[in-house]
Amino acid sequence: MPKRPNVIIKPDILRWARTSIHLSEEEVVEHFSKKTKLKFNINLDALKSLEKNEQAIAFSLLKELAALYKRPLAVFFLEKPLKEKPLPKDRRTLGSEVNISFSRDGILVARKARRIQEVTAELYKSLKIDFKFPFKKYGSSDNAESVADTIRKKLGFTIETQRSFRNSNELFAHLRELIEGMGIVTLKQPFPIEDARAFSLTDQEPYVIVINSKDGGLNYAPKAFSLMHEFAHLLLREGAICNDFYHSHKSIESFCNQFSASFLVPKKEFIVEHQRIAENNDDLDEQLKQLHKVFKVSHHALLRRYESCQLISNRFYQKKVSEWEKDFAESYSLGTGFVPPQKPHKKAYVNNGKLFTNLVLQAHYENVIGYDAVSDYLDVKMKHIPSLEDFAHSKT
């Protein structure tokens, strides 16, 4: 095979591609210091020169940079850098002084969420599907408890429904389906828990919620709370990056925390259930276990409701949480948890959500997109698409 000719790439394109994924010059040089990469002769001076002066570079080097910067080759031949939408507003408080920037994995997930948002909008338009968000805009000064009660009633989410779930996994799945029924894309993606527990996009429709699959590991109670917290951001039309779902002092985060807690554990229903359980059992830990069977949320979320109903003091609440820190995966600390591997077709369905998966498949069946686009959009190899179709059909 003949050797590919050298190519000329604009310096600002190379600089943008590197900085957009939060790679420092030193990290790039370290990458090229590996034995197998020494052939490219990239040191700090060479890298600075590439990003300052227009010059011909080997096509093999361009391919290596494209792989490192996680960009398609075509991007490097543009006249100027792409104008990409910024990350949502940073509403993080836990470790915010340390984790100022998203990790590279976090950036890639955010980039993927943006692309899925755009693809979904295009497919909705092509398939003539209406996706307008059905709820009015609320403000962070509104009563979160009252808003949560209103939304529960409009969604038909009753205590009987909640009681019927076998576990928090089923609770999360049901809530996710309710939200996706409004045309909202929900993604479940793995990225460093230090980045965030979840984030949401509301600067254009369709809105998108991204849940960190590492949040709580196999325990879906934290994910259910994260999901409803981000849904509250949609109600406010304020997309955000979030990691503190219990203690945040920020007004918007406080509203979203209160909304999620009130939606998942409504005050009236909690009092009724607590009285019923406490009548025969005065042990707090046993009460929490019984209440968990009803609401399917974490013990921490239930304890917060004890405090808000003045059944315990804030001092007792803090003391109890401290006791749980070492023993409870449900505590407020952000544990990563182990998530076992899934079959490729099931992983694609779970990560992309029922709405986006079915939308892409429908677009294929109606000849709007090809098989290769299905593979690309759902991040699944073509050989696994038949299994994905069968799995998706079994879920309808």
Q: pLDDT band for position 88 (50/70/90)?
A: confident
The range of the structural domain enclosing residue 61 comes to 7-77
d(CA 188, CA 349): 10
Residue 200 confidence (pLDDT) above 90: yes
- CATH code for the domain of 42: 1.10.260.40
Do residue 129 and residue 12 come from a single domain? no
Report if pTM > 0.75.
yes
The answer on 371 and 320 residing in a single domain is: no
Domain presence at residue 82: no
Q: In terms of domains, do 127 and 270 share one? A: yes
What value does the CA radius of gyration of the chain take, rounded to a whole number of Å?
A: 24
Confidence of residue 361 (pLDDT cuts 50, 70, 90): very high
Q: In this predicted model, what pLDDT tens digit does every residue of 264-306 receive, in sequence order?
A: 999 999 999 999 999 888 899 999 999 999 999 988 889 989 9
Is residue 251 domain-resident? Answer: yes
CA distance 5 to 1: 12
> What's the average model confidence in pLDDT over 205-230?
92
Residues 6+ apart with CB under 8 A from 207: 133, 184, 185, 200, 201, 234, 239
DSSP secondary-structure letter at 136? -
Per DSSP, the residues of 170-228 read HHHHHHHHHHHTTT-EEEEE---TTT-SEEEE-SSSSPEEEEETTTTTT--HHHHHHHH
Residues 206 and 312 in one domain: yes
85 located within any domain = no
Please say if the pLDDT value at position 384 is more than 80.
Answer: yes
Within a domain: 236:
yes
Which H or E element spans position 90? strand 89-90
Q: 331 and 349 in one domain?
A: no
Same domain, 357 and 333: no
Span of 97-111, 169-183, 229-243 with lowest mean pLDDT: 97-111
Give the pLDDT score at 112.
95
User: Of 77, 101, 132, which residue constitutes the final position of a domain?
Assistant: 77
Asked whether residue 182 is assigned to any structural domain, the reply reads yes
Could you tell me if 192 and 254 lie in one domain? yes
pLDDT for res 325: 62
**Over 80: is that where the pLDDT of 97 sits?**
no
Residues 227 and 303 in one domain: yes
Q: Are residues 39 and 153 in the same domain?
A: no
Domain count, the chain: 3
pLDDT tens-digit series, residues 20-73: 998 999 999 999 999 899 999 999 999 999 999 998 999 999 999 999 999 999
Residue 323 lies in a domain: yes
Residue type, 358: N
State the average pLDDT over residues 379-394: 95
Domain boundary among 42, 77, 112: 77
Q: Indicate whether 340 pLDDT > 70.
A: no
Residues 97 and 146 in one domain: yes
CA distance 282 to 192: 40
Give the phi and the psi of residue 8 in degrees, each rounded to 5. -105, 120
Residue type, position 218, single letter: L
The predicted model gives 202-222 an average pLDDT of: 91
The rounded Cα 174 to chain-centroid distance in angstroms is 17
Given a cut of 90, whether residue 262 has pLDDT beyond it is: yes
Examine the domain organization and report whether 140 and 284 are in the same domain.
Answer: yes
Residue 339 has pLDDT above 60, yes or no: no
Same domain assignment for residues 141 and 232: yes
